[in-house]
Amino acid sequence: MTTTKKPNHKPLSHLDWLESEAIYILREVAGQCSNPVLLFSGGKDSLCILRLAEKAFRPGKFPFPLMHIDTGHNYKEVIDFRDQRAAELGERLIVRSVEDSMKRGTVVLKSPDEPRNKHQSVTLLEAIEEFGFDCCIGGARRDEEKARAKERIMSFRDEFGQWDPKNQRPELWDLYNARSHKGENIRAFPISNWTEMDVWQYIEREKLELPSIYFAHQRDVVMRGGAIVPINVPLTNGEVINPPKTGEEVINMQVRFRTVGDITCTAPVISDADNVSKIVLETATTTITERGATRLDDQTSDASMEQRKKEGYF
């Protein structure tokens, strides 16, 4: 069948290739799983996935609902944006909250101000059981962290939601295996092969809207342990959290967030990038990794992400 004739088309650009791969993965989930769900936080990666899902399934409805595991300590801007986006798309949004798990007694905090990110695992597993989901689509990327470099596109989790790095299915070609027995779960990562730069370039190309806190804004912060820590942050319920500690100097700074997550463990960076093209430029010239700069919870140990994943984290 091999001929010397050349194809008429040029190869795809890197963004077109990544987009096409992600659409393919989303459609494989829809084709292979009986009850998948798309984890949607309102963050930039999951907003890309929503756009990809539109390209994958329109004019049909998404073959899965959206779900957010809310720590209760999310930025109001992000939560509002989450609700607005789900409404615009006309897709069903399920919200399950870590605070409900706390009320049930399944999440116990060591102290009231303990970061809640890692406790999302419990609430997620409870939601998976409640709805009987057999696959959760997430926005994790392999370039985010060492422990993710070997992560599969379709990652297998056992009945306890645990990720066993030694018990993962080999993935060859584009033949993904999303089969699972009852109680087991697949985590599907359509943008595994994207870098932070690819995400921003895609946001720019597709003209995606984002929560305002991704862009440079003035904010009251303190310097704590080498990181910029936002203080007096209002929540959706009107409560204000993260007061400065005694002796800390409150500074009003121009910052933006590179990742958004639980308020108590997501730090902003100093930036004057107030639009997407400036962020693309900033991303191209930064000297600090996304997580290194902004995630206070991953620095505890070299392997802390691996540990959390074993416990059922995304």
Q: What whole-number distance in Å separates Cα of residue 85 and Cα of residue 76? A: 14
- CA-nearest of 291, 292, 290, 297 to 262 is 297
Minimum Å gap between C-beta 223 and another protein is 17
* Nearer to another protein among residue 70 and residue 196 (C-beta): 196
The nearer residue to another protein, 162 or 236, going by C-beta atoms, is 162
Of the two residues 97 and 299, which places its CB atom closer to another protein in the complex?
Answer: 299
Secondary structure (3-state) at 100: helix
Smallest separation (angstroms) from another protein to the CB of 16: 5
Query: Is the separation of the CB atoms in 68 and 250 below 8 Å?
Result: no
**Nearer residue to another protein within complex by CB, 100 or 206:** 206
| CA–CA dist 113, 68 (Å, integer) | 21
150's CB contacts (< 8 A; 6+ apart) are 165, 168
**Nearest alpha carbon to residue 273 among 185, 212, 314:** 212
Q: How many CB atoms lie within 10 A of CB 233?
A: 19
Q: In terms of CB distance, is 178 or 216 closer to another protein?
A: 178
In Å, what is the CA distance from 180 to each residue of 97, 150, 192, 247?
A: 26, 20, 21, 54
Residues 6 or more apart in contact with residue 298 via CB below 8 angstroms:
145, 291, 304, 305
Minimum distance of another protein from residue 293's CB (angstroms): 7
We find the least distance from the C-beta atom of residue 173 to another protein, in angstroms, to be 5
Whole-angstrom distance, CA of residue 289 vs CA of residue 28: 31
Compare residues 106 and 162 and give the one whose CB is closer to another protein: 162
Neighbours of 222 (CB within 10 A): 19
- Interatomic CA distance for residues 136 and 69, integer angstroms: 12
Q: How far is the CB of 286 from another protein (least distance, A)?
A: 7
- With contact defined as beta carbons under 8 Å apart, do 137 and 29 qualify? yes
Q: Distance between CA 68 and CA 137 in Å, rounded?
A: 11
For residue 224, what is the enclosing H or E element?
Answer: strand 217-224
Of 33 and 69, CB closest to another protein: 33
- Rounded to the nearest whole angstrom, what is the least distance from the CB of residue 136 to another protein in the complex? 17
Q: Which is nearer to another protein, 27 or 224 (CB)?
A: 27
Minimum distance from residue 56 beta carbon to another protein (Å): 7
Q: Which is nearer to another protein, 12 or 109 (CB)?
A: 12
User: Smallest distance from the beta carbon of 166 to another protein, in angstroms?
Assistant: 7
Residue type, 76: K
Nearest approach in angstroms of CB 112 to another protein is 30
